[in-house]
A and B are shown apart, each in its own frame.
Chain A
């Protein structure tokens, strides 16, 4: 089968999966919201207004206002930019590290495999959230550091996946053929084997974005993620927690945004998995 029929097949299966389709649409919508934030947000994200402090949801402020009179809806809209950026960059870093280490481990085997897999075991034994907190404590909490730290602490799953794919693919005939033709190891790894190993990686990347969004919001919630006044869903929730006895709306809406985003990426990821290979469905 050539490439285009494969994509057609994928697309036909994907379209039939209504939930996955819905996930895709929500992800797309959040993209649009993030890009168009300045045009759709009714107020500026930092528009402090002392006359409208802690107002419950109303027509002029659909999600209410926070302790500084800022419009929660506008802050949630701007916050989507942070979640999106952190999700993609962190997962990009994790996927890159995972692919390289997993490919080396699976392709070469031997002591290199032992060393890399031991390293994976060690990383998995340290509570990830502790590790992230410790690194952030050493560096300054900034959005770039958050992305990098989430990336370098979440590549282990990808590495294991890629390694498993390489272990089975490297014995296949097309690899033997490439080697017989004199292709270099580099070429065999990246041009011949890797493209065939990409579908599970893609699925885990989409699901990984959901995970990264959750971690970023948790860090920002604890006050060591994205720093105020920059709006992120997590740090709006911090204000929600501080005012929990008097202003429920600050806690409800940003969390809802996190929930819907994570749900959408999960649906999309599962949908892609089922469409690439229905046998993988559990």
Chain B
């Protein structure tokens, strides 16, 4: 198990280097020098200050040296200072935004799992039944709904018409005066819509995938054997079949993380949630290059960590992998 994980970790290093190369390349796409933007934002900047900054980024050196310099700083999580007026270090800015984004995405993943797996399993157990047909149609529709549109519709329904849920931010006005329990409840209310919508995007795919994976497994000989020896159908499905059918779904979990993180840009923007997605969007609008680079890299690291978690899950579910 340990050697397996170590191998997976080592395999990530070239990918990570590749990602930093791509992020670095993207910044080079920008017309002019990155520091031009800073000068535009801050007209009072002296030529000396500008020169100092160009030296810091190594803009006077050839491009491959610049990349190596940048990479050296990245290893220490030093992405430089933000170009925006607060001029704070990029890592500090990302660090305070990261928890809420990770929280929403993790909750969304949990929600996907506890909804999609039972749906997939139950429609695979009775394939082509009325229930299966209905879920197929619903899933197909779910695939096609733009989630940001669904977000607007739910905001109109639950926020504007019914006044059940808040539609913006994380805290209500007067949050400070609430009791501890009240604070948690207020927070939960704010999180329900964003979390549900993040999850919704994945639901269709997962339940579909779970269904086909399950259909594949119940056809296997060992399931026939399990039935033949007189096990209850419940045991056959949930003990023998589900474990095997879950394996490919775990892989899918790892692959869906970039999509989830990308989606947080849209949802955090719609619901005004101060997370990493919103920070990224603001930085893109202001061409705050250091923050853009930092978030691209952090996003990729999160994705790779997600893949690693999926690998661990895979190894836990399948003893054959542990011994490999």
Contacts and interface: CB of A to CB of B under 8 A. Distances in A.
Interface of A: 118-119, 121-131, 133-139, 210, 214, 217-218, 221-222, 224, 237, 240-241, 244-245, 248, 251-252, 254-255, 258-259, 262-263, 266-267, 282
Interface residues of B, number: 52
A218 B140 contact: no
A126 B296 contact: yes
A252 to B, nearest CB: 7
Contacts of A119: 18
B58 interface: no
Contact of B160 (A134, A244, A252, A263): A244
B266 interface: yes
Given A130-B295, A134-B292, A224-B284, A262 B144 contact: yes
Contact of B262 (A122, A123, A127, A237): A127
Contact of B156 (A129, A138, A248, A267): A248
Given A127-B299, A128-B258, A263 B141 contact: yes
B110 interface: no
A218 B270 CA distance: 11
Contacts, number: 137
By secondary structure, the B interface counts as helix
B153 to A, nearest CB: 7
B30 interface: yes
A126 B258 contact: yes
Given A119-B18, A127-B259, A139-B29, A255 B270 contact: no
B80 to A, nearest CB: 16
B209 to A, nearest CB: 9
Contacts of A133: 265, 280-281, 284
23 contacts: A118-B15, A126-B22, A127-B258, A127-B299, A128-B259, A134-B26, A134-B296, A137-B283, A218-B148, A224-B284, A224-B285, A237-B149, A241-B152, A244-B155, A244-B159, A244-B160, A248-B156, A255-B152, A259-B144, A262-B144, A263-B140, A266-B140, A266-B144
